[in-house]
Amino acid sequence: MISLEFDITLRQGAFTLDVADRASVEVLGVFGPSGSGKTSLLEVIAGLRVPSRGHVRVDERLLLSTEQGVNLPPHLRQVGYVPQDVALFPHLDVRANLLYGATSHSRRGTRLSRLGAAPSRLPSPDSRHDLAHICTTLEIAHLLDRRVADLSGGERQRVAIGRALMSAPRILLLDEPLTAVDRSRKDRILPYLLRIRRELHVPMVYVTHDAREMDEIADRVLVLEGGRLTAHFSPSRPPLP
């Protein structure tokens, strides 16, 4: 479980995203139609967009504050981000794509050391984020020597999620991870996401416009429309073990 707090205003042409929330959950769902600001919110949390005002805090760690002049770069935020287009490296096989995430984690620790961060603040590897464990959880060990071009849509999604997990993130951002697959494939991939929640204990922000996905995976749901938070609720289902 993690505490995520944000209060931001982001202007993009005629569109303005103006949202605020604070939640301590395992999976925060962000739900709404296309163009409502879901992806923009993830990109602000990840450090890929800078709002005109506001702040983002994960647990007690301040990632962004326009008032205080704080804006940690993406590689120092300890945030794993899986965009809609997956963005795997086509010239690398699956193994190399996954290990790139671990290399990013190592580089982040080196950069923090150079900035004078105390060793106790540096991300430390653990068994949840090693290659074997992630491959077992996502059932992708048999894909390690495959080229990206030879993967199905569902396999690419699982590899992209695995690469993000290899960076040992404090929080994982998933931008409509099942939008490009049909219903039968969704039903096969969703259990892997539930396993991340249940077995790896990595908190997630999960974006979708599919109410069924949201009901199955999220603890708390924010509803966005036109760049505004219009509702929030907890799905009516028993908690996962």
> Does residue 101 sit within a domain?
yes
Query: In a 10 Å sphere around its CB, with 0-12 CB exposed, 13-18 middle and 19+ buried, how is residue 96 labelled?
Result: middle
Place of tokens 């290659």: 131
Higher pLDDT, 209 or 221: 221
The CATH code of the domain that includes 42 is 3.40.50.300
Name the domain count of the chain. Answer: 1
> Does residue 80 sit within a domain?
yes
The pair of three-digit structure tokens given for residue 65, joined into one six-digit string: 């504050």
Distance from C-alpha of 83 to C-alpha of 137, rounded to nearest angstrom: 20
Selection from 182-186, 230-234, 236-240 with the highest mean pLDDT:
230-234
Q: Which pLDDT band, with edges at 50, 70 and 90, does 177 fall under?
A: confident
The pair of three-digit structure tokens given for residue 183, joined into one six-digit string: 């219903």
> Does residue 240 sit within a domain?
no
Q: State residue 144's pLDDT score.
A: 95
Q: State residue 97's pLDDT score.
A: 93
pTM for the predicted model, two decimal places: 0.84
* Nearest residue to 213 via CA among 186, 184, 185: 186
Rounded to the nearest 5 percent, the helix, strand and coil shares of the chain are 40, 30, 35
DSSP state at residue 237: S
CA dihedral sign, ordered 149, 131, 190, 89 = negative
Q: Which pLDDT band, with edges at 50, 70 and 90, does 237 fall under?
A: low
Indicate if the pLDDT at residue 71 is higher than 60: yes
Q: State residue 180's pLDDT score.
A: 66
Q: What is the mean pLDDT of residues 49-63?
A: 95
Q: What is the mean pLDDT of residues 52-75?
A: 95
> Does residue 238 sit within a domain?
no
The answer to whether the CB of 200 falls within 8 A of the CB of 137 is: yes
> Does residue 222 sit within a domain?
yes
> Does residue 42 sit within a domain?
yes
- Report CA 24 to chain centroid distance, whole Å: 16
CA dihedral sign, ordered 121, 127, 130, 133 = negative
Q: What is the mean pLDDT of residues 40-51?
A: 96
Q: State residue 108's pLDDT score.
A: 46
- Residues 102-148 have pLDDT tens digits of 765 544 444 434 444 433 333 344 445 688 888 988 889 999 999 99
Q: State residue 113's pLDDT score.
A: 41
Q: Give the residue numbers spanning the domain of 218.
A: 2-233
